Amino acid sequence: MPLKTENVILNMGPQHPSTHGVFRMRVTFDGEVIVDLEPVFGYLHRGLEKLCEERTYTQVFPLTDRMDYLASMTSNFGYALTIEKLAGVKVPERAEYLRVIMAELMRISSHLMAIGSFLNDLGAFMTPILYMFREREKIIDLYDMLCGQRLTYNYFRIGGLSHDAPPEFLPTLKRFVAEMPHFIDEYEQLLSENEILLARTKGVGVLPRLTAINISAAGPVLRASGVNWDLRKSDPYSVYDRFQFDVPVGQNGDNYDRFLVRMQEMRQSVRILEQAIQQLPEGEVRTRVSPIIRPPRGEYYGHVEGPKGEIGYYVVSDNSIAPYRVHVRPPAFINLTGLRDMIIGWKLADAISIFGSIDICLGEVDR
């Protein structure tokens, strides 16, 4: 005769380290099995979209830095591209190449933290994440050399970049690009066939292909579910149409595929960096525009492929010096909408790993 039990509700967060910030999961258990989940966000809300309306177009850049602070350059890129289209500003070719270099370095840096923290959530305490920090630190050094910052870079400008790369930047970048494939090999040797990793990730937290499409998932979360969609290929921007690279796609949409897609994307980013360095032209890095610009009346939606997926900006201009309206399409927030379906039926330890496999940044979720 089965025992009659009552469901138990457990609050995880918003201070738990495995919630990757001030995120709360209200989890309902039947015994050890999760039967319902309510994600709760808003604890970090700073009203960045509203703040944009009180600043000039140029002054908005530091606000975009503070959303996905593990991929600040990509947030800058999306906003800059949107305002340039809205205002009809052309970007010099050298700046376009340097922007791509920044974006692909940022993708590698972000994926290193996504993979390292995910493995930490699985219980691989410190070793993998310290390996990932080792290479991320080299990328941070490159950014420090370029613009003097290590987290919120504020290097992009309307019309290009704030200044050109210093003489020592390219040799250091070439050395990093030459070394990085070896380190990715090292990660794969350490992790890809690890039996604990396989047991905790294969078939766990499946996001079916159709569900991923219906919730508008993006980035590695979408591609791990078997959807071949990457804005760099599907809707090329900047100079991405000049590079040869592949779009890694998973088959099962589980934790392992999300891990593997990010690992493979780092290899493709290295390919893009190699080509960008070879093709990098000389010339100016910024079209001179007034710091107080007045785009014509209108609206525009611009988007780029960030490490977590499509980050888009919808901007409305009323021909004043500040945006009338700015709305951000944040991939981390939208990818979270699949969390409940992915977690139901699993246990608490699996909930931590499934949540970690999505790779969120609360600054972007609660912007």
**For residues 16-20, average pLDDT:** 79
Considering only residues 257 and 291, tell me which one the structure prediction assigns the higher pLDDT: 257
Please report the pLDDT score of residue 15 as a whole number.
Answer: 78
In this prediction, residue 2 carries a pLDDT of 67
Extract the tokens encoding 286. Answer: 């910024």
Average the pLDDT over 208-213 and give the result.
96
pLDDT at 153 over 70: yes
Interval 337-346: pLDDT, tens? 999 999 999 9
Question: Residue 325 CA to chain centroid, in angstroms?
Answer: 23
Q: How far is CA 294 from CA 8, 173, 297, in A?
A: 56, 37, 9
What does the pLDDT read at residue 1? 59
Q: Indicate the pLDDT class of residue 13, thresholds 50, 70 and 90.
A: confident
pLDDT of residue 124: 83
Tokens 């370095």 correspond to 105
- Mean pLDDT value across residues 330-350: 94
Whether the predicted pLDDT of 367 surpasses 90: no
Q: What is the 3-state secondary structure (H, E, C) of the chain?
A: CCCCCCCEEEEECCCCHHHCCCCEEEEEEECCEEEEEEEECCCCCCCHHHHHCCCCCHHHHHHHHCCCCCCHHHHHHHHHHHHHHHHCCCCCHHHHHHHHHHHHHHHHHHHHHHHHHHHHHHCCCCHHHHHHHHHHHHHHHHHHHHHCCCCCCCCEECCEECCCCCCCHHHHHHHHHHHHHHHHHHHHHHHCCCHHHHHHHCCCCCCCHHHHHHCCCCHHHHHCCCCCCCHHHHCCCCCHHHCCCCCCCCCCCCHHHHHHHHHHHHHHHHHHHHHHHHHCCCCCCECCCCCCCCCCCEEEEEEEEECCEEEEEEEEECCCCCCCEEEEECHHHHHHHHHHHHHCCCCHHHHHHHHHHHCCCHHHHCC
Mean pLDDT of 192-221: 94
With a cut of 70, say whether residue 152 has pLDDT above it. yes
pLDDT value of position 177: 98
Mean pLDDT of 146-167: 92
* 67-85 pLDDT, tens digit each: 998 999 999 999 999 999 9
Amino acid identity for residue 74 in this structure: T
For the chain, which residues make up each domain, given as ranges?
8-365
By C-alpha distance, which of 147, 157, 149, 153 is closest to 56? 157
> How do beta strands 309-317 and 325-329 pair?
antiparallel
What integer pLDDT is reported at residue 339 of this predicted model? 95
Among 203-207, 302-306, 360-364, the minimum mean pLDDT is found in 360-364
Query: At 28, phi and psi to the nearest 5?
Result: -105, 125
User: What is the model's pLDDT at position 137?
Assistant: 96
pLDDT at residue 18 is higher than 80: no
- Work out the mean pLDDT of the chain and round it to a whole number: 94
**CATH architecture of the domain with residue range 8-365:** Orthogonal Bundle (1.10)
Taking the model in full, what pTM does it have? Answer: 0.95
Which value, in Å, is the radius of gyration of the alpha carbons in the chain? 21
Q: What pLDDT is attached to residue 260? A: 96
Mean pLDDT to the nearest integer, 351-367:
92
Number of Cβ within 10 Å of residue 31's Cβ equals: 10
pLDDT band at 126 (very low <50, low <70, confident <90, very high): confident
> 87: which residues sit within 8 A by CB, 6+ positions away?
57, 158, 289, 293, 295, 296
